[in-house]
Amino acid sequence: MKRLAIVGGAGRMGQALARGLAARDEFAVVALIDEHPIAPLAGAICASDVSALDPSTVDVVIDFSSPRGVLASASWCSAHAVALVVGTTGLTDEHWSALEAAGQRVGVVVAANFAIGAVLAERFAAMAAPYFERVEIIELHHEQKVDAPSGTAIATARAIAGARRAKGRAPIEDPTTRFSVEGARGADVEDGVKVHSVRLSGLVAHQEVLFGSPGEGLTIRHDSYDRESFLPGVAIAVAHVSATTPELLRGIDSLL
């Protein structure tokens, strides 16, 4: 049985993970970490900082907190030989450097989206990308998501751009030359693949990839209606990762 500590345990995602993972026989949630007040979970300690953990009682730290929290988690896990699973987005080069350093000492899995359907949708989009002239991405999330575009949209755009380059397709050129409002055409993530971000109350996590060529179109859409959708992917990552197998695995695509 793997013993888990969840950083960001007071948040809606952290609470959903705590309940869902604790209900599985192969896991025990032993700690919830958050700087905000935490709703208690039977059998788990609550603390405000990862440094309060006893490393002998934890096998995997799961971080769904903030980029600043990821730095602390990566440092602590590396120093104490504890594996790490990260679902926090909005990471900069500084955060990735810390995760890469941790991955040289312990197992680390980082994913922008743990929903199985979202992972498959990204794979399908990369498969379709070379065969259409144009593609744009619309990502829709709840109003409390502070970063844009989403990590999922960025990963999808880069997968699409890479698949197009591999087939010798040129970057996509935007035909728009006149802008009534700057930014109306979205953000160019890579090679002309545009992303449009929507933030609305009532949403959880949703993404559409729209392809177009003369006479036809293709839409690939994934919807997470509840945070429970991320649980199976997190469980797969936690089951895979190990403190005794140093690595930095980006995404869970290879684990499916």
What is the amino acid identity at position 66? S
What is the amino acid identity at position 65? S
Task: Give the C-alpha distances (Å, rounded to integers) separating 163 from 122, 128, 188.
Answer: 11, 9, 16
What is the amino acid identity at position 6? I
* C-alpha–C-alpha distance, residues 100 and 94, integer Å: 10
| CB-CB contact of 66 with 8 (8 Å) | yes
Kindly state the DSSP code that residue 247 receives in the 8-state scheme: E
* C-alpha–C-alpha distance, residues 231 and 16, integer Å: 8
Q: Report the run of H or E that residue 16 belongs to, with start and end.
A: helix 12-22
Kindly state the DSSP code that residue 226 receives in the 8-state scheme: S
Catalytic residue list: 141, 145
Task: Give the C-alpha distances (Å, rounded to integers) separating 52 from 34, 35, 72.
Answer: 11, 12, 12
Three-state SS for 175-203 is: CCCCCCCCCCCCEEEECCEEEEEEECCCC
Tokens of 3: 């013993």
Tokens of 72: 């602390």
b (16+ CB within 10 A) / e for 90-124 = bbeeebeebbeebbeebbbbbbbbbbbbbbebbee
Neighbours of 161 (CB within 10 A): 21
